[in-house]
Structure 1
């Protein structure tokens, strides 16, 4: 299946967008939570994990992708997610909501627990097809973001940078942020070449991200 980044012409791009739309029209349900690496569910469907700093908008973008406003809890308290949450998307793809990293007010021991779980998962999950690394459009890339990208590269886990909250940034600063993200792609060898700019509020970039993820999903049962 062709993702949006691999589409060579308008027809292929339209087909990729439609594949993404159809996939994310399917039911998406929470089915598992793991608070330690030995609690992970058995491997099965391809998985895509959502990773980023606390309060970067992981829950909001999951809700926007699936069109289910209450699928992932949106917390006004950064660092609230303390476990890996697994969502089954139409028996074709598993979405994994990862603990946020870099929350300044979290206790050091708690930060280490969260990051240890996240990093161990990234290193050892055979069905993990890609990590969607969310970066806030409104602020500069933090040291913790660079640390995550370095670890993903060392673990040979493909990650795709997705800028969030673009509706809250003026065109000039947003263009600069997009240039910075493209520079990061060139710096880290595990980075996917396509940077997607999104807004959970306006829907910007959501169809393109759906198309990218649909290309990683298992085929429909009638085509398997």
Structure 2
């Protein structure tokens, strides 16, 4: 039997127990894929608040989305880097839309394809009025890489608020997690659109997942009384 997770205050921030419970309830609701967009002209109508997930190929985006929703196959995971080539939209309980973005940094993608992807993502980030926050996923074992910094600069330029979420934190000891969080936090000081807190998560063990749910619930459509 796996040992109970011990969540340190640094992973919780200013979240309350009520917010964590609200996050659990929200992410237990139905979550369905409803749209795939390969160009700015094919984006769905902007209605509900949106959160987008960005990260290097194979950083664990799909695994994190699956862990948040408690499902194994909501977002397809792949051993082939760069396979996701569209924005995938998921409706969570008619209160929040999660957007799985294509992975970046895969060397075998052509320059033309990469340039088209950058233009598409810039258009989405700059013009999506319902986009509340972007999550930039970073492999905890490696820290920030040049492609991560490029994505952060793009979000700075498009004035999209974003937060760094470390993935695969279960592969590191607690002291090493704190060290990489501190290193990333220092780097964020030069990025105007970045949220200062760095979250650490593991889709494998559930580390940080309740806290991330609670954090994202803050941006969801409010519950209508009655």
Q: Does 2:42 align with 1:53?
A: no
Q: Give 1:75's aligned residue.
A: 78
Residue 147 of structure 1: how far off its partner (Å): 1.1
TM-score of the pair, normalised by structure 1 = 0.92
Map 1:108-119 onto structure 2 (within 5 A): 108-119=111-122
Note if 1:85 corresponds to 2:88: yes
Q: How does 1:26-175 map to 2 (within 5 A)?
A: 26-175=29-178
Match of 2:8 in 1: none
In the other structure, the counterpart of 2:195 is 192
2:177–2:200 CA contact under 8 A, matched in 1: no
Count residues with an aligned counterpart: 215
Aligned position for 1:180 = 183
Q: How big is the shift at 1:140?
A: 3.2
Deviations 1:174-216 (A, max 9, x none): 3321111211232212111221100000000001100110000
CA contact (8 A) 1:101 1:115 kept: no
Shift of 1:86: 0.2
**Contact map agreement 1:65 1:206 (CA 8 A) in 2:** yes
Distance, in Å, in 2 between the alignment partners of 1:117 and 1:62 is 22
Once the two structures are superposed, residues 144-175 of structure 1 have per-residue CA deviations (whole angstroms, 9 ceiling, x without a partner) of 11111111112111001100001122344333
Q: Secondary structure at the match of 1:130?
A: strand
Gaps of 5+ in 2: 1-11
Deviation, structure 1 residue 120: 1.5
Q: Which runs of 5+ in 1 are unaligned?
A: 8-12
Output the TM-score relative to the length of structure 2. Answer: 0.91
Shift of 1:6: 4.1
Structure 1 runs (4+) deviating above 6 angstroms are none
CA-CA distance at 1:220 after TM superposition? 1.7
Once the two structures are superposed, what CA deviation does each residue of 1:111-151 show, in whole Å capped at 9, x if it has no partner?
22222222221111000000011011011311111111111
* C-alpha distance in structure 2 between counterparts of 1:56 and 1:207, whole Å: 20
Conserved 8 A contact 2:24-2:213:
yes
1:215 equivalent to 2:218? Answer: yes
In 2: Cα distance, 1:176 partner to 1:106 partner: 33
Paired residue secondary structure (2:224):
coil
Output the aligned Cα RMSD. 1.4
Deviations 1:1-25 (A, max 9, x none): xxx6444xxxxx1011011111101
